[in-house]
Amino acid sequence: MAIHSITEFVTPSNFEILLSTVKKLAGNNPTERSYGIPTLPVKIRYCLRRCTEVNKTAGISANDTSIITNAKNFLRLYDADWNSRITSVARHTSRKNKCNVQKLLPFCSDVQKLFRFVKEEVFTLCEVSFFNRKRGGEVQRLTVAGYLKGKKSNALDKDILSTLTDFEIQLCKSHTRIEIRGKFGRTVPIILTRSMIDKVDKLIELREKEHITSTYVFSRPVQSTKPYRGSDVLTEIKGMVCPKQPEAFTFTALRKHIATLTQLYEINDTMQDELAQFLGHDIRVHREYYRLPLDIIQKT
């Protein structure tokens, strides 16, 4: 029987076909009870539930009881069988694949080399991302309105200033804090140096001359409404600089790099909380996923 749309897939009568299709796409190995692509079943489960909910909503709008009933029954099957027959094997495979895998972090010398390069060659998007250890997709979504509003709100409170050292006051004056939207809609800060501010101001100044109408600071030229992707720019830079371990240079690896270095320096819990908040994730996520369990640390 031919299936022509996702609507036909998310029906009770085709549930078994759906399971076998997902297993095939994920590279199912029934002998070893594993998948070649274990992340696929985990990710697709959310899409299937969302598609079914959309289908049910359409049935309610059209007052079609057959569509509503099919959607409800499919969700019952999904809730009863999906985890035991699909997700459990996928998660087991993922955990097995992570065992005894070499965990690469970029060399400090490479990080310094790349940061000097992006600073000198005016790759401002990557310079800001590197400096703040942000996800590539966060900085690229910085809007002109958000940037200008953030610059205006950086006035220093006199009472707070009186509690700071001269060095801390100088840092406050030479750096600008701007809030952007992070993962899961969280508000996360980025810190900009004076040179970064000058570069971003220049980009905004050139917008009218280049007829750029996009709301993003790091806009693509002419009519595109989307910004440059941080990951694409990083890939381009890696090709120019040629670091010792190019495969270790991702925005996630750079975030793990700073988390692991702070682990080596044994910073206290309060500072760990502040670092996790600045990076834009929960302290539990910081400890479990970002601080790599390096064999050297465990041995010593």
Judge contact between 265 and 252, C-beta under 8 A.
no
Is residue 104 pLDDT above 80, yes or no? no
Q: Are residues 78 and 151 in the same domain?
A: no
Question: Of residues 276 and 40, which shows the higher confidence score?
Answer: 40
Give CA angle at 159 (155, 160), nearest 5°: 70
33: its two tokens: 């009870």
Question: Of residues 300 and 108, which shows the higher confidence score?
Answer: 108
| pTM confidence score | 0.58
Q: Which of 150, 158, 6, 130 is nearest to 74 (CA)?
A: 6
CA distance 23 to 45: 12
Q: Are residues 76 and 223 in the same domain?
A: no
Residue 210 is which amino acid?
E
Q: Are residues 188 and 253 in the same domain?
A: yes
**1 assigned to some structural domain:** no
Helix (H, G, I), strand (E, B) or coil at 216: strand
Q: Which domain holds residue 160?
A: 108-299
Integer CA distances (angstroms), 282 to 1, 154, 265, 272, in order: 47, 26, 20, 10
Instruction: Quickly state the pLDDT bin for 57 (edges 50, 70, 90).
Output: very high
Strand intervals (E) in the chain: 28-29, 34-35, 175-181, 187-193
Q: Are residues 33 and 57 in the same domain?
A: yes
pLDDT digits (tens, 9 = 90+) for 265-278: 555 666 666 656 65
Is residue 191 pLDDT above 80, yes or no? yes
